[in-house]
């Protein structure tokens, strides 16, 4: 019997997996304290993630939040190497249109205000087991 050569299914390199409307995922935090980190693990690979700071002051300014793909405690100095997106002041949201299976949101060790934010993702049907770890140049090591 001949091997099946046209096995069409969802996957990282399957364009249709990203063209179809994604399944919604919404989470967040009502009170993330300073110097903490929260990991959001998606049930399937995300094709886009949006993190929105929800402001509490009358000026609508966002207390600092950092969004990154690896833990701030992992080797590679994610925060010091500036491998993160910073929400602060009038910059209140970031949309990441890139595939991932997880993100981290961390807060600096300054300020007394608890951070409030929302994480919304557009999920594909791709199993997370098919997604590789996001590490290397620009993510956990300096750009070369």
The secondary structure of the chain as a DSSP string is -PPP-------TT-HHHHHSPPEEEEEEEEEEPTT-EEEEEEEEEEEEEEEEE---STT-PEEEEEEESS-TTSTT-TTTTT-SEEEEETB-EEEE-S-EEEEEEE--S--SPPEEEEEEEEEEEEEGGGSPP--SBTTTB---
Q: How many domains does the chain have?
A: 1
pTM of the model: 0.86
Q: Is residue 13 part of a domain?
A: no
Q: 52: domain range?
A: 18-124
CATH number at residue 107: 2.60.120.770
Q: Is residue 135 part of a domain?
A: no
* pLDDT tens per residue across all 144 residues of the chain: 555 566 667 877 777 777 788 899 999 999 999 999 999 999 999 999 999 999 866 677 889 999 999 999 887 788 888 889 999 988 999 999 999 999 999 999 887 788 999 999 999 998 999 888 888 777 777 665
């Amino acid at each position: 019997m001949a091997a099946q050569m046209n096995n069409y299914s969802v996957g990282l390199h399957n364009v249709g997996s990203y063209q179809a409307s994604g399944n919604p995922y919404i989470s967040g935090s009502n009170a993330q304290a300073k110097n903490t980190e929260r990991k959001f693990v998606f049930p399937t690979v995300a094709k886009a993630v949006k993190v929105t700071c929800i402001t509490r002051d009358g000026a609508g300014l966002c207390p600092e939040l950092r969004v990154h793909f690896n833990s701030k405690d992992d080797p590679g100095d994610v925060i010091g190497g500036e491998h993160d997106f910073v929400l602060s002041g009038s910059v209140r949201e970031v949309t990441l249109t890139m595939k991932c299976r997880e993100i981290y949101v961390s807060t600096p060790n300054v300020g007394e205000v608890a951070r409030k934010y929302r994480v919304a993702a557009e999920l594909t049907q791709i199993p997370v087991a098919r997604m590789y770890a996001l590490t290397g140049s620009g993510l956990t090591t300096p750009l070369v």
